[in-house]
Amino acid sequence: MREGTAPVIHRLDYQAPTYWIATVDLTLDLDPAKTLITSKMAVKRNATQAHGALVLHGEELTPLRVMIDGEPVSFRQDGNLLHIDAPDRDFELVIRNTCCPEKNTALSGLYTSGGGFFTQCEAEGFRRITYFLDRPDVMAVYTVLLRADKAKYPILLSNGNLVEQGDLDGGKHFAKWHDPFPKPSYLFAVVAADLVAREQRVVTRSGKEHLLQVYVRRGDLDKTEHAMNSLIASMIWDEARFKLPLDLERFMIVGVSDFNMGAMENKGLNIFNTSALLCSPATQTDADFQRVEAIVAHEYFHNWTGNRVTCRDWFQLSLKEGLTVFRDREFSMDMAGSPSARAVQRIQQVRNLRTMQFPEDAGTMAHSVRPDSYTEINNFYTATVYEKGAEVVGLYQTLLGREGFAQGMALYFERHDGQAVTCDDFAQAMADANPDSALASRLDAFKRWYSQPGTPQVTARGHYDAAAQTYTLTLTQRNPKAGEGAAPQLIPVRMGLVGAEGHALPLNLAGQASVGALETVLLLEQAEQSFTFTEVSSQPVPSLLRGFSAPVLLDDGLTDAERLTLLRHDADAFNRWEASQRLALRRLLDAVQSGQALELDIGFLDAMRAVLRDPQLDPAFKAEALRLPEAAYIAEQLPVVDPQAIHNAVEAAWDQLALALRDDWAWAFEAHQVEGGYRPTAEDAGRRALANLALALLVRGSAMLADPVWPGKAYQQVKDATNMTERFGALSALVQAHAGLADAALTHFHEQFAHDALVVDKWFMLQARTAERDGKVFERVKKLLQHPDFTLKNPNRARSLLVQFCNLNPGAFHRTDAGGYVLWADQVAALDAINPQVAARLARAMDRWSTLAEPFRSAAQEALKRLSERPTLSNDVREIVTKALE
């Protein structure tokens, strides 16, 4: 294992390489125990750099020989670097080496899974296959010859186009692939396995024909239809919205069950975690269908944003990830269709941002969208780089409009197609394509979104002057996490004014030309700014940050009455939802901070009932509005966090919602049953989401009232449901309520799906994230660690128990006896010996330890210290625990 003594790498230290590599001819003789790799490279001197030794990356490899222009040369190994005395000119370099795929449990580089070979090269996995300049600015044209046993590995795949295949002696066969597009090594991929494919031929706008393939294990073929449909929809969308066509004859997706992340955008050969690919109504939920559609789109969109234009160095990761998440979000919203369904998508994005990214940006791993330093790049595939990065890309579109944004994209590709570039290049293209925009005149200020970490805190206070008929809105911003020399950020605040009767008021902004619009975007660019609206005939309620127009924490200073007005009348669906969340949040925070038991008032309960019963609102929206804010988001509002106090308040709120609205939940459950066959549409999914929420609260209420009817119904639904969304909804209802029938239902469910790994993952996940009661969840998690189906070797399984429990179930994890922390430290260490990347994710459960109340704080620190003192930690985990203790 690599041990944690690695140096810190700084963004400003970037230097172009001394040599480029123009072409690579790779031959892989695939054998699980010892794979032989021959790499023939056309090496070019980079005349802009002083001459020096050729230093290649290589990790866990055995070098056999190195030749320059046909002559063996000496080389020196120094840790993970190979030094070669290379001439001051272009030359041909040939390297032979071996690696051991079956021992590769880190799942980076070439590894085996389910009897096949798979690769994962982002970010620095290629160096675990052969020696190379393994950095994204070195782009080469690859030709790949694969040789392997034909019976065991009938399918041999690599990037690009198949140029030759045939049989060899000794039961072997070969395939030769050529990828015409120069690419960085992180986009290289190989698959050799016994797989079958769903195929589809499509013709794009230009009249070109393409072959689309989705490869999976035999038996899984019937679960690939949704992915194929999503791929075709993505192709059509990218051509229509951004004029970006598929550039390859063949586009392949391959599923593998051992994978560190969701999926990977290797050129022409995307490799997917089966959890992000396989879909069937019987085994996947509506949320899974949505996720698969989004990830298929995401990887496909990378073909332009990431592959055709890639990153100069890994500090620029958000250049491709933030942009591609933005693109897959836009796609998902367009697919969802109705304005309400789009709003629901946005609500889910923001809920996710607040529970994952806000804590990160306030915690020990806080970093800017374009970080300045790292030790282990794998630790920077974060919510900040992805989700906040996507928010930042969204800011361009808010400032430029859809058309202006599309023009910026066009200029970006015109300038940089085939290049490895930086976030600055993207910003410049956006500004240059829109020279008269608010962006172009404020580009430097805008770019602070890339350089300053932390979530800006915005306050808004309004003053109505009845005599003058003016309304003055004063906005301030501060970002205590932004660091030294921090300056105000450019914050677009989309807003409107709502009149007392609920109608939208026309906006007349002093000093601005546009009059009478019902919505505008204010640019907050100073620490404090005031905006005065004229001809305001009555006291308005401001509806601010519509659609969550910037990733900030907003203190709007509104009263409950004003929030109720917004909840009922705001023209912006996102802000109606936001009003519901703020009403709930204030009550939860009051209870947590006062130490008093939470008592939901009639006003709040009536408002929630009104949402539930409102015939104008869509079920999907209702399900979101009636969900309480997540514990992680509640915690971010507090200077000192007692996870048990938050847990108790949230549980009490659910109990009271369950009982006070019992008849309404019963109505909602019955009224939102979906008739007919399963369709994963936004509309049907919305009905199921609300029915599932209703059932959860009905079962919860029943458990309190000792009423057997709803638990009985739920149990029956676990047995009889015809799709996983309803089956798992019922199972969750029983388990989350700690109902008497929960154990029987869990046993039944496990028996029924014991053969399906992805469903067994759900079974673990549900038990690990169940809200704690009397320590039962913790006890169950400890028992599940011993379950015959549990293993640390499969990332999905490890995550479904451990990440769910440690990172996502604060009420169960944070215990006064420190039991959760002890379990965490032990499991991080055990996992680290197998798979450092996955272990490092688990290690992040302690990101926010320093804001914990006692006795949690000291116990957490103690656990961190003990873990950090272990001599054999990987760089990945070492970086996380070191930063936590800094």
Of the candidate residues 124, 134, 321, 570, the single one contacting ligand PHE (CB under 6 A): 321
For ligand PHE, the closer CB: 273 or 428:
273
The residue whose Cβ lies closest to ligand PHE is 261
> Least distance from C-beta 386 to ligand PHE, angstroms?
7
For ligand PHE, the closer CB: 56 or 121:
121
Please state, in angstroms and rounded to a whole number, the distance separating the CA atoms of residues 594 and 605: 21
**Residue 675 DSSP label:** P
* 261 binds ligand PHE, rule: CB under 6 A: yes
> Least distance from C-beta 349 to Zn ion, angstroms?
15
For Zn ion, the closer CB: 35 or 324:
324
- Token pair belonging to 460: 């808004």
- Give SS3 for 484: coil
261 binds, among ligand PHE, Zn ion, none (CB under 5 to 8 A by kind): ligand PHE
Q: x/- contact string, 293-322, with Zn ion (CB under 5 A)?
A: ----------------------------x-
381 binds, among ligand PHE, Zn ion, none (CB under 5 to 8 A by kind): ligand PHE
Q: x/- contact string, 333-372, with ligand PHE (CB under 6 A)?
A: ----------------------------------------
Q: Is 194 exposed, middle or buried (0-12, 13-18, 19+ CB in 10 A)?
A: middle
Please state, in angstroms and rounded to a whole number, the distance separating the CA atoms of residues 161 and 565: 59
Please state, in angstroms and rounded to a whole number, the distance separating the CA atoms of residues 139 and 418: 9
Stretch that binds ligand PHE, among 140-148, 258-266, 346-354, 850-858 (CB under 6 A): 258-266
> Least distance from C-beta 841 to Zn ion, angstroms?
16
* 124 binds ligand PHE, rule: CB under 6 A: no
For ligand PHE, the closer CB: 157 or 588:
157
Of the candidate residues 120, 357, 451, 702, the single one contacting ligand PHE (CB under 6 A): 120
> Least distance from C-beta 186 to Zn ion, angstroms?
12
For Zn ion, the closer CB: 321 or 847:
321
* 223 binds ligand PHE, rule: CB under 6 A: no
For ligand PHE, the closer CB: 261 or 863:
261
Of the candidate residues 299, 328, 562, 618, the single one contacting ligand PHE (CB under 6 A): 299
Stretch that binds ligand PHE, among 168-176, 298-306, 445-453, 760-768 (CB under 6 A): 298-306
Of the candidate residues 381, 426, 471, 749, the single one contacting ligand PHE (CB under 6 A): 381
Q: Is 519 exposed, middle or buried (0-12, 13-18, 19+ CB in 10 A)?
A: middle
CA atoms within 13 A on the CB side of 271: 30
Q: How many CB atoms lie under 10 A from the CB of residue 588?
A: 23
581 binds, among ligand PHE, Zn ion, none (CB under 5 to 8 A by kind): none
Please state, in angstroms and rounded to a whole number, the distance separating the CA atoms of residues 863 and 824: 8
The 3-class secondary structure across 812-879, one letter per residue, is HHCCCCCHHHHHHHHHHHHHHCCCHHHHHHHHHHHCCHHHECCCHHHHHHHHHHHHHCCCCCCHHHHH
- Token pair belonging to 557: 């200073």
264 binds, among ligand PHE, Zn ion, none (CB under 5 to 8 A by kind): ligand PHE
For ligand PHE, the closer CB: 264 or 696:
264
Please state, in angstroms and rounded to a whole number, the distance separating the CA atoms of residues 217 and 198: 11
- Annotated active-site residue in 299, 376, 726, 879: 299
At what angle are helices 662-671 and 643-660 packed, to 10 degrees?
70
Of the candidate residues 82, 101, 106, 122, the single one contacting ligand PHE (CB under 6 A): 122
Strands 139-149 and 19-29: parallel
Strands 310-311 and 263-264: unpaired
Kindly tell me the sign of the dihedral angle through the C-alpha atoms of 284, 288, 294, 295. Answer: negative
* Residues 6+ positions from 373 with CB-CB distance below 8 Å: 8, 9, 10, 11
Q: Write 725-731 long-range contacts (CB < 8 A, 24+).
A: 725/285, 725/286, 725/287, 725/678, 725/685, 725/688, 725/692, 726/688, 726/691, 726/692, 728/285, 728/762, 728/766, 729/285, 729/688, 729/691, 729/692, 729/695, 729/696, 730/692, 730/695, 731/766
Please state, in angstroms and rounded to a whole number, the distance separating the CA atoms of residues 385 and 647: 29
What are the start-end ranges of the E strands in 504-580? 504-505, 507-508, 515-517, 520-524, 528-533, 541-544, 553-555
Name residue 374's amino acid.
Y
Cα dist from 204 to 307, 699, 788, whole Å: 20, 51, 49
CB 263 within 8 Å of CB 214? no
122 binds, among Zn ion, ligand PHE, none (CB under 5 to 8 A by kind): ligand PHE
> Least distance from C-beta 317 to ligand PHE, angstroms?
9
**Residue 108 DSSP label:** S
For ligand PHE, the closer CB: 123 or 129:
123
> Least distance from C-beta 873 to ligand PHE, angstroms?
21
Please work out the total of residues on this chain that contact Zn ion, with binding judged by CB under 5 A: 2
> Least distance from C-beta 295 to ligand PHE, angstroms?
8
Q: x/- contact string, 716-745, with ligand PHE (CB under 6 A)?
A: ------------------------------
> Least distance from C-beta 108 to ligand PHE, angstroms?
8
CB 173 within 8 Å of CB 56? no
> Least distance from C-beta 324 to ligand PHE, angstroms?
7
> Least distance from C-beta 385 to Zn ion, angstroms?
10
For ligand PHE, the closer CB: 107 or 495:
107
Q: What is the DSSP string of 704-764?
A: HHT--HHHHHHHHHHHH-SSHHHHHHHHHHHHHTT-TTHHHHHHHHHHHHTT-HHHHHHHH
630 binds, among Zn ion, ligand PHE, none (CB under 5 to 8 A by kind): none
For Zn ion, the closer CB: 385 or 730:
385
For Zn ion, the closer CB: 275 or 580:
275
Stretch that binds ligand PHE, among 91-99, 294-302, 328-336, 598-606 (CB under 6 A): 294-302
Q: Is 586 exposed, middle or buried (0-12, 13-18, 19+ CB in 10 A)?
A: middle
Of the candidate residues 226, 298, 327, 878, the single one contacting ligand PHE (CB under 6 A): 298
Stretch that binds ligand PHE, among 256-264, 349-357, 484-492, 741-749 (CB under 6 A): 256-264
Q: How many CB atoms lie under 10 A from the CB of residue 226?
A: 21
> Least distance from C-beta 183 to Zn ion, angstroms?
15
| 519 in active site | no
> Least distance from C-beta 184 to ligand PHE, angstroms?
12
* Residues 6+ positions from 153 with CB-CB distance below 8 Å: 30, 116, 117, 192, 193, 194
> Least distance from C-beta 87 to Zn ion, angstroms?
39
Q: Is 515 exposed, middle or buried (0-12, 13-18, 19+ CB in 10 A)?
A: exposed
Please work out the total of residues on this chain that contact ligand PHE, with binding judged by CB under 6 A: 13
Q: Which of residues 631-670 bind ligand PHE (CB under 6 A)?
A: none
Strands 373-374 and 310-311: unpaired
- Token pair belonging to 416: 């940089």
For ligand PHE, the closer CB: 302 or 797:
302
Q: Which of residues 264-283 bind ligand PHE (CB under 6 A)?
A: 264-265
Q: Is 462 exposed, middle or buried (0-12, 13-18, 19+ CB in 10 A)?
A: buried
Residues near Zn ion (CB under 5 A) are: 321, 324
Residues near ligand PHE (CB under 6 A) are: 120, 122-123, 260-261, 263-265, 298-299, 302, 321, 381
**Residues assigned a catalytic role:** 299
